[in-house]
Chains A and B, each alone.
Chain A
Amino acid sequence: AQTVTQSQPEMSVQEAETVTLSCTYDTSESDYYLFWYKQPPSRQMILVIRQEAYKQQNATENRFSVNFQKAAKSFSLKISDSQLGDAAMYFCAYRRWNNNDMRFGAGTRLTVKP
């Protein structure tokens, strides 16, 4: 079974600084997808960034980037120039390439201090 582990229940960062959220996963598959979702207090899950396992290049979306280490089964999210609006729960998720069942980690609550 695939499992996703987020070892940091809570993180905090000063506004304008950089923070990295950790995620590891367990799988025997070679083809899969990884995601980071943001869940603000409104509860609406928002896709932040995604990565195909077959791509070695790390995905980047504006201030958000990932460090994908396939051999280590690690998928961390880096948020640069943190903003107050980045405060939320962040969930790491895994999905097999031919399966719509997404597996989520338990989440990391990010606080941004002004």
Chain B
Amino acid sequence: GAGVSQSPSNKVTEKGKDVELRCDPISGHTALYWYRQSLGQGLEFLIYFQGNSAPDKSGLPSDRFSAERTGGSVSTLTIQRTQQEDSAVYLCASSYLGLADITDTQYFGPGTRLTVL
């Protein structure tokens, strides 16, 4: 079956513009995660969706960042008024249950490389 897909693969934008990044999780997966990977760094947790529950937004770095998940499937991460420090690879992952259980493996997409000029 298809894995997690993300679009676009690469995005170049000008400082101050808004961008939308899309994530299509694996069909049937109830949990969806967004991470940010800055150059030379590990992954930084941004936000987590589980079913119809309120999302865990504790990792969002500022109020310029927001995300939504429509119909419990596709998710969009929006960054408003982009800044140069927002340049990074944005990775999405999904998992089947989203439970605090080791068998709940997160499957990652290929990421979107965002460059803010």
Give residues in A with beta carbon < 8 Å to B: 4, 6, 33, 37, 42-47, 50, 52, 91, 93, 96-107
Give residues in B with beta carbon < 8 Å to A: 3, 31, 33, 35, 40-45, 48, 50, 56, 58-59, 89, 91, 93, 98, 100, 102, 105-106, 108-111, 113
24 A-B pairs within 8 Å (CB atoms) are namely A6-B42, A37-B108, A43-B89, A43-B91, A43-B111, A43-B113, A44-B3, A44-B109, A44-B111, A45-B108, A47-B105, A50-B102, A52-B102, A91-B42, A96-B100, A100-B98, A101-B48, A101-B56, A102-B45, A103-B42, A103-B45, A104-B44, A107-B41, A107-B42
Q: Are B59 and A101 in contact (CB under 8 A)?
A: yes
Give the A-B pair count, Cβ closer than 8 A: 62
Contact status of A42 and B106, CB under 8 A, knowing A100-B48, A101-B48? no
Enumerate chain A residues within 8 angstroms of B108, measured Cβ to Cβ. 37, 44-46
